[in-house]
Amino acid sequence: MSTATTTGAREHARAQGGTVVECMPTVPASTGLTWEETIPGGGYASKRLARGTTLRLTDVHGDACVSVLVFNADEPWERLNVADTVKVLWQAYVGEGHLLLSDQGRALATVTAGSPDRSDTFCGTTTLTSNSSRYGDGSPHSATPAGRELFTLAAAKHGLTRRDLPPSISFFQGVRVGADGGFTWLGSAGPGAVVELRAEMPVTVLLVNVPHPLDPREEYTCSPVRISARPGKPSEPRDARTPEAERALFNTVDYLTARGLA
Amino acid sequence: MTTVLDQIVPARAPWSAVIRKGQTLTIEDLAGNQAVDCLIYNADDTAERYSAPDTVAAQGTIFLTTGSVLRSSEGNPLMTVIGDQVGRHDTVGGACSRESNTLRYGQHTKHQHACVENFLIEGSRWGLGKRDLVSNINWYMNVPVDPDGSLGIVDGISAPGLTVTLRAEMDVLVLVSNCPQINNPCNGFDPTPVRMLVTAP
């Protein structure tokens, strides 16, 4: 097909429509879902999600590592606070039932599925500097993109900048801390592992899928993660498992009630 | 060695200063077990700031002590710990805030003093806002992680007169909240003053 003319170029471009690859969004999402997309290793995605939405992540081939940032969708200066998330809830290994707390003493989301052995609240994600040193390049269009560079792009799609990128939490790959404070990298749970997050207020989520900072493998190893989100109901404060979590959910309801959103 | 600054930070108060590359900052725990919450920024580009995750991932341990390189959000060295008379310091527990205090201790703590209030008021003098606050360092604070992942602020291991000394690896803005927390053992339930000594070689 010649692309020397407008007509030919248009036909050539339109002929590409309908191509199916492993890593792409399904638009519109399948019936009952509000977001359906597969992110490649070295990729990112973002979305605004309604309160009550359950965001399901599936490690398709067993080498995904998804770092997550969550913002209050309407007031993005309220965002994930990893230190509060571990300190207030007295637990660093984040699994089912753990809340992702904002810097305003409220729950942004609840982890409703996922292994505490395969999450990491300590090491964040990688930088241009660290990936350039390890793999030779960390820029977004390289073969070895750094997590912070991808977060910067995802944030920009929502009017946010590098100043808006606090430490993130990662899922599907775990670390353990020894008595001396040292790390042991646990790696992946394997293919088919699932993480689910329930939005407790309207949120913006940024997701990057890149190798864990402590991944000892020489090769940049990261495989796709499947996203499927469905509408649902937020958590009830009375179902909270700890007094700290109950107060966080009450604070969230208090905030949303004042805004006319609950 | 010349003294650039020698200041006492009162109990509960904020403090900030620009430390030039090559200068050292010594923090003295005057009365013992006072948590000194600390954030560090590239003085020329405050969008680059202290990163707890980059620091702990690069050094392979969550505790800070002599030899720890305090890394930025871009992975660059901001400061290096060149002296430590305590043994280890925390960078996992973050700062107390009025909001997080309501979760940790109850709604009755909403109007107490808190570190984030110090960071916001002192940071505002340098054009920094809430989006510029990230997970910080807590000098002298003791936060062990148990084998099952349980963690929390427990009794400190510092003592009166002990110091930690940092060398600036670039021009940095250091923001400190001399923690006002009265509900947990980080200050022995009693905030006390600290001394900040900046020297140039």
pLDDT (tens digit, 9 = 90+) per residue, B4-33?
999 999 999 999 999 999 999 999 999 999
Q: Is residue B95 domain-resident? A: yes
Side chain identity, residue A32: G
Enumerate residue ranges in chain A where pLDDT < 70: none
Cα four-point dihedral sign A200, A203, A206, A207 = positive
- What is the per-residue DSSP string for chain B? -EEEEEEEE-TT-EEEEEE-TT-EEEEEESSS---EEEEEEETT-TTSBB-HHHHHHHHTBS-B-TT-EEEBTTS-EEEEEEEESSS-BBSSS----HHHHHHHT-GGGTTS--HHHHHHHHHGGGT--GGG----EEET-B--B-TTSBB--B-----TTEEEEEEESS-EEEEEEE----SSGGGTTS---EEEEEEE-
CA B2 to chain centre: 24
Q: Is residue B183 domain-resident? A: yes
Pairing of strands A225-230, A35-39: antiparallel
Query: SS3 for A45?
Result: strand
Cβ atoms within 10 Å of B162's Cβ, excluding its own: 18
Could you report the per-residue pLDDT of A139-171, keeping only the tens digit for each?
A: 999 999 999 999 999 999 999 999 999 999 999
What number is the average pLDDT over the span B110-117?
96
pLDDT at position A12 is 96
Q: Is residue B196 domain-resident? A: no
Percent of residues, chain B, with pLDDT higher than 90:
100
Kindly list the residues from chain A whose CB atom is less than 8 angstroms away from the CB atom of residue B151.
86-87, 90-92
Q: Is residue B99 domain-resident? A: yes
Q: Is residue B115 domain-resident? A: yes
Number of domains, chain B: 1
pLDDT at position B14 is 98
As a whole number of angstroms, the distance between CA B161 and CA B31 comes to 7
Q: Write the residue in B131, B135, B147 that is nearest to A167 by C-beta.
A: B135
Kindly list the residues from chain B whose CB atom is less than 8 angstroms away from the CB atom of residue A92.
92, 145, 149-151
Q: Is residue B8 domain-resident? A: no
pLDDT at position B39 is 98
Q: Is residue B19 domain-resident? A: no
As a whole number of angstroms, the distance between CA A240 and CA B179 comes to 30
Kindly list the residues from chain A whose CB atom is less than 8 angstroms away from the CB atom of residue B109.
none
The single-letter DSSP state of residue A26 is -
**Which phi-psi region, left, alpha or beta, contains residue B33 (left: φ > 0; alpha: ψ -120 to 50)?**
left
Provide the domain limits for residue B150.
29-188
pLDDT at position A1 is 74
As a whole number of angstroms, the distance between CA A255 and CA A259 comes to 6
As a whole number of angstroms, the distance between CA A176 and CA A135 comes to 25
Is the CB of A92 less than 8 angstroms away from the CB of B92? yes
Q: Write the residue in B60, B103, B152 that is nearest to A248 by C-beta.
A: B103
Flag whether pLDDT at B193 surpasses 80.
yes
Cβ atoms within 10 Å of B4's Cβ, excluding its own: 15
Q: Is residue B179 domain-resident? A: yes
Interface test with B, best of A79, A84, A87, A151 (most B CBs within 10 A): A87
